[in-house]
Structure 1
Amino acid sequence: MAASLLKLHDCFVQGCDASVLLDVSEVFTSEKNSGSNSNSIRGFEVIDEIKSKLEKACPETVSCADICVLAARGSTGLSGGPSWELPL
């Protein structure tokens, strides 16, 4: 799951927006099912579970973008990969 969460963190230089988590709607085309991501990204349920628990503990405090980058860093480190500083 570490590689999936790393891909899911969806960051660029100086920022993350978690836009890959947005679902398709009638007025919005999502990155989630785009050609390059279709059937290649997973881990949405991990982010949803973390967000649900955080909302119960501290509502409207932690963004999905922060959850994505922290999950990517945590899972990478736990699987034996590198760790890095995150400005929050």
Structure 2
Amino acid sequence: MLVLSQGCDASVLLDDSEVFASEKNSGPNSNSIRGFEVIDEIKSKLEEACPETVSCADILALAARGSTILSGGPSWELPLGRRDATQASLGG
């Protein structure tokens, strides 16, 4: 079980490290989560325009809402301001 520290809402974007196994490569996410390169491209362009302003966590939340709306689902107000952490812990 991955237990997050420092409020990392975008933990699925973290890669494996010597300290923890990431969600990105975990069994339940295998072949079900795709498009990491799209998030990387969006983040890169946002960083060029406004450095250290938009988190990957907000990008994921906005992408989830946008894809829901585009597929005919509901829209909702989305508070922004999430922060990305750089660490996670396997501790429980």
- The TM-score with structure 2 as length reference comes to 0.72
CA distance 1:40–1:73, shift in 2 (3 Å): same
Q: Relative contact order: is structure 1 or structure 2 higher (C-alpha 8 Å, sep ≥ 6)?
A: 2
Q: CA deviation at 1:53?
A: 0.7
Question: Which residues of structure 1 form unaligned runs of 5+?
Answer: 1-13
Question: Which residues of structure 2 form unaligned runs of 5+?
Answer: 1-5, 80-92
When Rg is computed on C-alpha atoms for both structures, the one with the higher figure is: 2
Instruction: List structure 1 runs of 4+ shifted beyond 4 angstroms.
Output: none
Question: How much is the aligned-residue C-alpha RMSD, in angstroms?
Answer: 2.2
- The TM-score with structure 1 as length reference comes to 0.75
Q: Identify, as 1 or 2, the structure richer in helix.
A: 1
Q: State the alpha-carbon separation in 1 of the partners of residues 52 and 28 from structure 2.
A: 31
Q: CA deviation at 1:15?
A: 7.8
Describe the superposition over 1:4-39 as per-residue Cα deviations: whole angstroms up to 9, x where unpaired.
xxxxxxxxxx98711000001122210111111112
Describe the superposition over 1:32-81 as per-residue Cα deviations: whole angstroms up to 9, x where unpaired.
11111112111211111110110000000001000000011112212222
- Pick from 11, 19, 25: which aligns with 2:17? 25
Q: State the alpha-carbon separation in 1 of the partners of residues 12 and 26 from structure 2.
A: 10
Alignment partner of 1:47: what SS? helix
